[in-house]
Amino acid sequence: MGLLKWRQVGNLNSFKYICGYCGNPVASNVGYVRGYHPDGSGSDMCHIYICHHCFGPSYFDESWKQTPGPRPGEEVSGINDSGVQSLYNEARDSYSKNAFTATVLCCRKLLMHIAVSKGDSPGKQFIEYVEYLANKNYIPPDAKDWVDHIRTKGNEANHEIVIMSEEEAKDLLAFISMLLKLIYEFPNKMRAIKP
């Protein structure tokens, strides 16, 4: 098969989406179209829309699935540990690229990084980090099942021949977002309020 031809950049029908690079809502009408035939002719098949905020290209396939997709999870402020922040961003980015097993592994590793950022020592077993977070009350009592769920899913992803689903990754990312807010964002906001 020869090269697949894309039509020149131009005006397209305006399309609303959340940019996977900058997170802004966009209603772009600039981009590229690939027609059904290898020479680019025929009915529209794939699109690349250009964000007018950051100029990042978002690819949309025939079913309008977006790559990279918008980052899931919420922004969390107040994280004062660059490793925790970086790993949380990596988990969100992995999910936006449909890398759900990588998302689950990042969520598991985040628990270790959080424990060390809150005073535990590096080089311990994973379970020791979970126990540290629980014993120091960083994990709310009713959330301990969620931490165990992250441990279980993370162990499956790490030690078994399994692929994590989108739903599993979405659940773990939602919990990690909440935990990061409890541990970093809300205490930081309260420190800013209280003299």
Would residue 56 count as lying in a domain? yes
Reported as a single tens digit per residue, the pLDDT across 96-149 is 888 999 999 999 999 999 999 999 999 999 889 989 999 999 988 888 788 888
d(CA 39, CA 179): 51
Distance CA 42, CA 63 (A): 17
Question: Is residue 74 one of the residues assigned to a domain?
Answer: no
At residue 141's C-alpha, the angle toward residues 71 and 73, to 5°, is: 5
Does some domain include residue 5?
no
* Residues 57 and 102 both lie in one domain: no
Give me the phi and psi of 80, to 5 degrees please: -100, 15
Domain containing 150: what range?
82-193
Percent of the chain clearing pLDDT 70 (strictly above): 97
Domain final position from 67, 91, 114 = 67
The verdict on 58 and 94 lying in the same domain is no
Does one domain contain both 63 and 86? no
CATH number at residue 117: 1.20.120
Residue range 54-60: mean pLDDT, rounded: 94
Number of domains in the chain: 2
Most confident of 41-45, 79-83, 136-140, 167-171: 79-83
* 2 assigned to some structural domain: no
Q: Average of pLDDT values for 143-171?
A: 84
Same domain assignment for residues 50 and 128: no
- Same domain for 56 and 147: no
pTM: 0.76
Question: Of the given ranges (3-12, 19-28, 68-77, 161-170), which has the lowest mean pLDDT?
Answer: 3-12
* Residue 10 burial (10 A CB sphere; 0-12, 13-18, 19+): exposed
